[in-house]
């Protein structure tokens, strides 16, 4: 496995400044946002698609530093009704075209989340039994069969035409695919080109075990995010894992995203990567630093130190 960095954390730097900083950190691969919700600070997708000269200059900056693109990230909610879904769909389709021009074989995405019925304006995430109230059964069927699966079948064909080989879906709360079971549901209905971007932090905060999840996903893990979470002692015992406070309200939340090693210890991370390797994964581990309890520099240093000690090479 090789370490990469999700570069939005360095969004205050220009593209070339970011590449130099990543090199200073001892990392030679980047995962950059190019569509969806991402800030797209380092990938001017439309400019690169419109101007071949700019595209070649862009690639030259990567090449002269020996920097690889681990993946292009276009996570968003393309299944959202209305303007957001339309915008994210366009930027995601454009990202696939750009990936082909850059020779990038992997996209990191989210599954999207539709509304609960035709005509609804807001996405609905169903997390309780569909047994009652009885309207939920039809809503969940509509989300999968009428919206998600048709969208994904069409997009997979678009990706194949542009040389993309893998779509790694992040199992994010408030998305249709939020755990291994729902990943298998989409993959089996659409195409084995779809796999998991295993972000262990998300399974942690939903009460699942990412290591057991890796065993369930043998052959279907296409990417890994190096990202930790901490269940906050005392607070979780009172209020549980369902948390709606802003991420900036760290001290009052029942869980927080933290630098790698500040949630799970290094022994846990060693086992996580060992099992990932046993299950056939030997690709990039992209550090996604979203710890708001410390400075960006401290979070990067802490996480890189932990990952370099634990990833299987």
pLDDT digits (tens, 9 = 90+) for 241-280: 999 999 999 999 999 999 999 999 999 999 999 999 999 9
Say if residue 190's pLDDT is above 90: yes
The per-residue pLDDT for 38 is 86
Say if residue 223's pLDDT is above 80: yes
The per-residue pLDDT for 22 is 98
How does pLDDT run across 37-83, given as a tens digit for each residue?
Answer: 988 999 999 999 999 999 999 999 999 999 999 999 999 999 999 99
Mean pLDDT of 17-38: 97
Mean pLDDT of 6-35: 97
Q: Among the listed ranges 52-61, 94-103, 128-137, which one has the minimum average pLDDT value?
A: 128-137
The per-residue pLDDT for 131 is 85
Strand 29-33 versus strand 2-6 pairing type: parallel
Mean pLDDT in the chain? Answer: 97
What's the pLDDT band for 128 if we cut at 50, 70, 90? confident
Provide, rounded to the nearest whole percent, the portion of the chain with pLDDT above 90: 96
The per-residue pLDDT for 278 is 97
The per-residue pLDDT for 61 is 98
Say if residue 132's pLDDT is above 90: no
Say if residue 313's pLDDT is above 80: no
What's the pLDDT band for 202 if we cut at 50, 70, 90? very high
Mean pLDDT of 20-24: 98
Provide, rounded to the nearest whole percent, the portion of the chain with pLDDT above 70: 100
């Amino acid at each position: 496995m090789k370490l990469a960095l999700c570069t939005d954390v360095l969004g205050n730097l220009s593209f070339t400044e970011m590449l130099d900083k990543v090199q200073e950190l001892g990392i030679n691969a980047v995962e950059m946002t190019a569509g969806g919700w991402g800030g797209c600070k380092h990938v001017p997708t439309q400019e690169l698609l419109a101007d071949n000269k700019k595209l070649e200059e862009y690639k030259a900056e990567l090449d002269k530093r020996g920097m690889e693109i681990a993946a292009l990230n276009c996570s968003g909610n393309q299944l959202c009704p209305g303007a957001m879904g339309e915008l994210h769909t366009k930027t995601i389709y454009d990202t696939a075209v750009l990936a082909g021009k850059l020779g990038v074989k992997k996209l990191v995405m989210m599954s999207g989340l539709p509304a609960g019925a035709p005509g609804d304006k807001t996405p609905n995430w169903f997390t309780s039994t569909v047994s009652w109230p009885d309207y939920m059964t039809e809503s969940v069927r509509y989300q999968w069969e009428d919206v998600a699966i048709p969208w994904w079948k069409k997009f997979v064909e678009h990706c194949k035409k542009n040389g993309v080989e893998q779509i790694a879906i992040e199992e994010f709360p408030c998305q249709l695919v939020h755990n291994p079971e729902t990943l298998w549901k989409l993959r089996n209905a659409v195409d084995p080109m779809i796999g998991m971007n295993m972000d262990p932090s998300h399974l942690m905060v939903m009460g699942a075990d990412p290591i057991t999840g890796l065993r369930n996903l043998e052959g279907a893990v296409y990417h890994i995010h190096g990202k930790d979470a901490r269940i906050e002692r005392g607070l979780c015992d009172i209020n549980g894992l369902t948390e709606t406070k802003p991420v900036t309200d760290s001290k009052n939340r029942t869980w927080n995203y933290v630098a790698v090693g500040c949630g799970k210890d290094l022994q846990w991370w060693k086992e996580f990567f060992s099992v990932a390797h046993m299950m056939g994964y030997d690709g990039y581990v992209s550090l996604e630093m979203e710890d708001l309890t410390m400075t960006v520099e401290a979070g990067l240093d802490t996480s890189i130190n932990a990952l370099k000690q634990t990833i299987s090479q």
